[in-house]
């Protein structure tokens, strides 16, 4: 059976038209950039808007919670930045394995495999989400052990329970995004996210201000905002929106799970090590003098940074899809050209935002708080925020290249070295021993991120992309199921 699968896969790959790299080289540079930019924005545009909307749900919730009280704001910021970022990193990282598999399979024209990969990812991520439930149940004692103030830790325990259904929504949200954007059909997610964001603003205003439900009202509205788009995505996929890639539920999703688990674990490690880096920054801040103001100021800066990061994450998605598609199709030179176009576009936007945020400084803080003390602290951190934004315009895009190429394991080791052996130790020395407080910790974080960015630039520059094409096609062959076999035992939806 394995020999039969392999020969079928090889025949399928041989039957594809030859790579178009030579034809592309005959075109003018301007035309190539224009055509590649068009392909990039088909993925990046909807991805950016969707991530803005999704991230906006959490920021709007934080804004409404901030008007309830400073302790509630600090508790929400701590839970979201520490626990939710932890869980989000695990699920997003593990789901990025789906981005690699779907992107390369779609490029290799094995469209029927995308639905199988999607279902396999659901199984793996559902188990993972279930295992993380105790973290949310025991939030208060966990934060006490980490040295957080009693009032904040107690309120955080209440807030964390509301995040359990939100955490389960991420497993579907992330996988649907990666499944749909790999085939450039993620516009539907944009519409659903915009609808959800608008409803969330209304329901948050209604429950917090009109019905005086406080934190409870804000969290109920957030749960609805996270699940409404998922129901719409299920309807789109199951009701014929992806006829080539969704053939119905199949028992074949339970086969080859170990291979998916291994790639998911390396993907999860890559993303988690990056997201937890910021989490450690917040935890270290929580042990400083005047912790409530410092945490509030830092969480506001990280939220502003997060808004900008949504642009870069959109380009991350575009880089991952374009590189995976081209590698799966056997186009090494096209993959390299895609990387140059995506990085240059994202960096240009980052430079503009760098200048803008240097000019606005602390004035943006009043969108999140009424405290002048917190706003002054934000203004003091603004130069560091601007430099972080500049780095974020390049670093996530290179991570997207790694996802599209299947390098997650390599980047995980890079993250350990740059973040945990360079960034955090420097931050502790600057923050605690030299006395720069939160600014010192953040400077250490920036230096770690800059080191990681330089390493990723070097790895990308030195990569043999012809070899990456061979590796991508070997991966496609390894998990290939003939269309007839993948349909066997399937239940239509």
pLDDT digits (tens, 9 = 90+) for 317-370: 888 888 888 887 788 888 889 889 999 998 998 898 888 877 776 676 776 666
CA–CA distances in Å: residue 432 to residues 287, 366, 423, 439 = 10, 28, 14, 10
Residue 388 lies in a domain: yes
Q: Tell me the average pLDDT across 64-87.
A: 82
Residue 300 lies in a domain: yes
CB neighbours of residue 234 within 10 Å? 13
Confidence of residue 253 (pLDDT cuts 50, 70, 90): confident
| Rounded Cα distance, 402 and 460, in Å | 8
Confidence of residue 292 (pLDDT cuts 50, 70, 90): low
Q: What is the DSSP string of 113-163?
A: HHHHHHHHHHHHHHHHHHHTHHHHHTHHHHHHHTT--HHHHHHHHHHHHHH
pLDDT above 50: residue 221: yes
Return the pLDDT at 14. 41
Residue carrying the six token digits 């009693």: 150
pLDDT in tens, 98-121: 877 888 788 777 777 888 888 888
User: 3-class DSSP state for residue 250?
Assistant: strand
Residue 18 lies in a domain: no
b/e 63-82 (16+ beta carbons within 10 angstroms → b): bbbbebebebbbbbbbbbbb
Residue 491 lies in a domain: no
Report the candidate in 250, 251, 233 with the shortest Cα–Cα distance to residue 242: 233
User: 3-class DSSP state for residue 255?
Assistant: coil
CB neighbours of residue 367 within 10 Å? 12
Return the pLDDT at 3. 46
Q: Is 116 in contact with 153 (CB distance < 8 Å)?
A: no
| Rounded Cα distance, 320 and 389, in Å | 21
| Spatial CB neighbours of 481, under 8 Å, sequence gap ≥ 6 | 5, 112, 113, 116, 252
Confidence of residue 222 (pLDDT cuts 50, 70, 90): very high
Confidence of residue 414 (pLDDT cuts 50, 70, 90): confident
Q: Above pLDDT 70, what percent of the chain?
A: 83
Report the candidate in 323, 326, 303, 304 with the shortest Cα–Cα distance to residue 315: 323
Q: What is the DSSP string of 53-88?
A: HHHHHHHHHHHHHHTT-HHHHHHHHHIIIIIIHHHH
User: 3-class DSSP state for residue 249?
Assistant: strand
Residue 304 lies in a domain: yes
Return the pLDDT at 480. 55
Residue carrying the six token digits 């299920």: 234
pLDDT in tens, 140-162: 898 888 777 888 888 888 899 99
Total domains present in the chain: 1
Return the pLDDT at 165. 93
Q: Tell me the average pLDDT across 209-233.
A: 91
| Rounded Cα distance, 413 and 398, in Å | 15
Report the candidate in 193, 45, 50, 183 with the shortest Cα–Cα distance to residue 117: 183
Q: Which two tokens stand for residue 109?
A: 């024209």
Residue 14 lies in a domain: no
| Rounded Cα distance, 56 and 271, in Å | 21
Q: Which two tokens stand for residue 182?
A: 């790999």
pLDDT above 80: residue 28: no
CA–CA distances in Å: residue 295 to residues 58, 236, 377 = 17, 41, 10
CA–CA distances in Å: residue 82 to residues 7, 170, 282 = 48, 16, 8
Residue 140 lies in a domain: yes
Report the mean per-residue pLDDT for the chain: 79
Instruction: Decide: residue 197, CB within 10 A, 0-12 exposed, 13-18 middle, 19+ buried.
Output: buried
Whole-model pTM: value is 0.74
Residue 21 lies in a domain: no
Residue 451's domain comprises 28-247+254-480
């Amino acid at each position: 059976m394995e020999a039969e699968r392999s020969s079928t896969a090889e025949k399928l790959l041989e039957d594809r038209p030859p790579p178009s790299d030579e034809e592309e080289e005959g075109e003018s540079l301007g035309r190539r950039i224009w055509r590649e930019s068009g392909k990039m924005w088909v993925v990046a545009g909807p991805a950016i808007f969707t991530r803005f909307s999704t991230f906006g749900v959490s920021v709007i919730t934080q804004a409404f919670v901030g008007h309830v009280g400073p302790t509630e704001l600090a508790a929400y910021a701590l839970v979201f930045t520490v626990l939710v970022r932890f869980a989000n990193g695990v699920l997003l990282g593990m789901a990025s394995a789906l981005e690699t598999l779907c992107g390369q399979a779609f490029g290799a024209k094995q469209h029927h495999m995308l639905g199988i990969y999607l279902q396999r990812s659901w199984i793996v991520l559902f188990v993972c989400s279930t295992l993380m439930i105790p973290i949310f149940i025991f939030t208060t004692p966990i934060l006490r052990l980490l040295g957080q103030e009693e009032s904040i830790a107690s309120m955080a325990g209440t807030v964390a329970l509301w995040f359990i259904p939100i955490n389960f929504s991420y497993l579907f949200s992330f996988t649907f995004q990666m499944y749909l954007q790999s085939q450039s059909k993620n516009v539907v997610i944009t519409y659903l996210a915009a609808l959800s964001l608008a409803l969330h603003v209304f329901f948050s205003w209604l429950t917090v201000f009109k019905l005086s439900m406080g934190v409870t009202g804000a969290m109920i509205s957030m749960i609805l905002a996270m699940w409404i788009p998922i129901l719409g995505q299920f309807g789109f996929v199951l009701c014929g929106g992806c006829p080539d890639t969704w053939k119905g539920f199949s028992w074949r999703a339970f086969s080859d799970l170990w291979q998916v688990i291994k790639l998911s674990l390396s993907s999860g490690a890559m993303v988690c090590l990056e997201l937890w880096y910021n989490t450690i920054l917040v935890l270290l801040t929580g042990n400083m003098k005047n912790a409530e103001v410092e945490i509030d100021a830092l969480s506001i800066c990280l939220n502003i940074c997060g808004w900008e990061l949504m642009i870069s994450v959109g380009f991350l998605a575009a880089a991952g899809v374009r590189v995976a598609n081209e590698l799966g199709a056997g186009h090494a030179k096209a993959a390299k050209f895609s990387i140059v176009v995506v990085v240059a576009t994202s960096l240009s936007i980052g430079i503009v935002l760098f200048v803008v945020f240097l000019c606005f400084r602390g004035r943006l803080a009043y969108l999140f708080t009424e405290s002048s003390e917190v706003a002054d602290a934000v203004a003091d951190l603004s130069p560091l925020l601007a430099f972080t934004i500049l780095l974020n315009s390049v670093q996530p895009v290179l991570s997207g290249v790694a996802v599209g190429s299947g390098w997650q394991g390599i980047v995980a080791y890079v993250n350990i070295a740059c973040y945990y052996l360079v960034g955090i130790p420097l931050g502790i020395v600057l923050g605690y021993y030299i006395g720069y407080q939160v600014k010192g910790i953040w400077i250490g974080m920036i230096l770690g991120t800059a080191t990681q960015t330089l390493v990723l630039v070097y790895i990308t520059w030195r990569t043999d992309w012809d070899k990456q094409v061979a590796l991508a096609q070997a991966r496609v062959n390894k998990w290939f199921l003939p269309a007839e076999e993948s349909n066997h035992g399937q239940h239509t939806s």
